[in-house]
Amino acid sequence: MMLLYHLWLSPFCRKVRLALGEKQLPFKMQVEKVWERRDDFLALNPTGECPVLVDEDGNRICGSQVICEYLDEMYGARPLLGTGAIERAEVRRLIDWFDRKFYAEVGVNLVEEKIMKRFLGLGEPSSSAIRAGGRNLHIHLAYIDWLVDRRTWLAGEEMTLADLTAAAHLSTVDYLGDVPWGDHSEAKDWYARVKSRPSFRPVLADHIPGAPPPRHYADLDF
């Protein structure tokens, strides 16, 4: 069975879990405390980061987008990156938007500040970072509103890895109860559709000891 080295509340690991779920591929998960910089793990991935997937043949694949491209190439049924070069370019553009821009502008300011700092004993969260994250979050939700006002899913008429990626990132913020869904009804409707997919169920069951999610987190009718 495949093995995924992961961290709880990492949007990049969640993205891979969702992709594996959509492909209906069974896998085991192992938490990797990346801050311990374990030698065996650094030999697997010299960046020392999660996610890393070890497939059934022992091949190790590093990094969420590299893993997802690999899965789509190896398990072609239900393509997650779309069909056709132009469509895939749009899917990849949006993936990059959330993996890089959303994560830097929202995820780092909210999830990293509130959770990682606490767990690693790095002090109190910065209130200015949290304020900035909240402001930026509105801009990203407005972009989702705008996209799904014009398209069924973020990148077009089919559900793709762009939706899974955006939802993976949003889900970590939602775990903290920080998403102002009431101000963004179109984004909310879209998120409800992603959230109701079977691939999302394990992510909604995540429960970090000492930091439980708010009640609406796992609720499909939030």
CB 185 → its own copies: shortest distance, Å?
21
Residue 208 interacting with its own copies (CB under 8 A): no
24-83: contacts with its own copies (CB under 8 A): 46-47, 59, 61-63, 65-67, 69-70, 73-74
CB 20 → its own copies: shortest distance, Å?
15
* Contact range with its own copies by CB under 8 A, out of 93-101, 154-162, 168-176, 205-213: 93-101
Nearer to its own copies, 65 or 206 (CB): 65
The contacts found for 206-210 with CB under 8 angstroms, 24 or more apart, are 206/8, 206/9, 206/175, 208/8, 208/9, 208/115, 208/175
How many positions of this chain bind its own copies (CB under 8 A)?
Answer: 23
Nearer to its own copies, 95 or 179 (CB): 95
* Three-state SS letters, the chain: CEEEEECCCCHHHHHHHHHHHHCCCCEEEEECCHHHCCHHHHHHCCCCCCCEEECCCCCEEECHHHHHHHHHHHCCCCCCCCCCHHHHHHHHHHHHHHHHHHHHHHHHHHHHHHHHHHHCCCCCCCHHHHHHHHHHHHHHHHHHHHHHHHCCECCECCCCHHHHHHHHHHHHHHHCCCCCHHHCHHHHHHHHHHHCCHHHHHHHCCCECCECCCHHHHCCCC
Nearer to its own copies, 20 or 203 (CB): 20
CB 52 → its own copies: shortest distance, Å?
10
* Contact range with its own copies by CB under 8 A, out of 26-34, 85-93, 117-125, 158-166: 85-93
Nearer to its own copies, 148 or 176 (CB): 148
Residue 86 interacting with its own copies (CB under 8 A): yes
Nearer to its own copies, 153 or 175 (CB): 153
Nearer to its own copies, 31 or 74 (CB): 74
Phi, psi of 216 (to 5 degrees): -70, -15
Residue 92 interacting with its own copies (CB under 8 A): yes
- Give the footprint of its own copies on this chain (CB under 8 A): 46-47, 59, 61-63, 65-67, 69-70, 73-74, 85-86, 88-89, 92-93, 96-97, 101, 143
